[in-house]
Amino acid sequence: MGYYSDLDIDFREQGKSPNIAHSIGLTYEELLDLDYNFITEKTKDQKIKSYKLILSEDTPIHIRNKIINLEDDLKTVYIEPYEINFGSYYQYEYESISQNDRHFEKFNSEINNLVLLSKIETETPKLKDILLRQVFIGIIGSLETFLSEVFIVLTLSNQKYLENFVKTFPDFQKTKFALSEIFIQHDKISETAKKAMIDIIYHNLAIVKNMYNSTFEINFPEIGEVNKFIIKRHDLVHRNGKTKDGEKLDIKNVEIESMVGIIKTFVNEISSELKLM
């Protein structure tokens, strides 16, 4: 285990990790300014069961009001181990995504740069094959980034969209909790939705189409043509450039040009529906 991983564990055990701040709804600076005890609760076989953070009596009321899941005594908050281990990952991902609000322009810039890259002359045909293969993969990656960033940012910035997503996302329909937990669950809706959206595989267009239609109440374009490119991208990445029947895939500039035209039209239709253009 590396130095920074060990350091993070030390901070976590002391109750000073940025992950802890995020999990209870505070900034890291606010956490460091707090006076509190941090207790690790373990099972009989010494596995971590939960963490308990106990605030001092002089903790300001405006800080208490910010803390998520503060108990009725207004000084104790229980933290699940997974919240500390993984909370910062989701926050980092979301912060990276939310910094951009010009999704359509970003997508087109990336695609245009990939097209320019595909036209570079190489010393050998083999190098050209490798270059075009990577460009093909990059184009699908740009599409996936566009679909994920647009969905996550728009949903979390609009209460109606968030409600639509929570109501219609299949995984949430299977979730069960006691009525006594309803306010706790309500306070965690945005965080729960954020984690679910970040975990979605956005090149699964059938799922993405249903999400866009249900959440934004739009007409998502047909996915058939684009899906063919996604299947080919899968073969390029996971089958070493061969189909499941062992046939080698050769990517040519003319295919890149055709692909770009179809995917740009696809993104234009989505952007028009969502008024991103």
pLDDT at 84: 66
| pLDDT, position 177 | 66
Which pLDDT score, from 0 to 100, does residue 261 have?
97
- Paired tokens of 273: 């529906």
State which amino acid sits at residue 48.
I
Q: Which two tokens stand for residue 139?
A: 């184009």
- Tokens at 63, concatenated: 């800080």
In this prediction, the residues of the chain whose per-residue pLDDT falls under 70 are 1-16, 82-94, 96, 177, 179, 182, 185-187
DSSP states of 87-137: HHHHHHHHHHHHT---HHHHHHHHHHHHHHHHT---SSHHHHHHHHHHHHH
Q: What is the pTM of this model?
A: 0.66
Please tell me the distance from the alpha carbon of residue 229 to that of residue 248, in angstroms, as a whole number: 15
Please name which of 69, 61, 82 lies closest in space to residue 25, comparing C-alpha atoms.
69
DSSP structure class, residue 247: P
pLDDT of residue 198: 82
Closest CA to 186 of 155, 211, 212, 162: 162
Q: What are the sequence ranges of the domains in the chain? A: 3-81, 100-273
pLDDT at 146: 95
The Cα-based distances of 59 to 51, 53, 69, 75, 76 in angstroms read 19, 13, 16, 8, 12
- How crowded is residue 156: how many other Cβ atoms within 10 Å of its Cβ? 18
CA distance 75 to 60: 11
Report yes or no: 16 and 32 within 8 Å, Cβ to Cβ. yes
What pLDDT digit, counting tens, does each position of 214-224 carry? Answer: 999 999 999 99
Q: What is the 3-state secondary structure (H, E, C) of 257-271?
A: HHHHHHHHHHHHHHH
pLDDT at 138: 94
Give the per-residue pLDDT at 16: 66
Contact 91, 24 (CB under 8 A): no
What contacts 38, CB < 8 A, 6 or more positions away?
13, 14, 15, 20, 51, 52, 53, 54
Dist CA 140 CA 96 (whole Å): 20
DSSP letter, residue 44: T
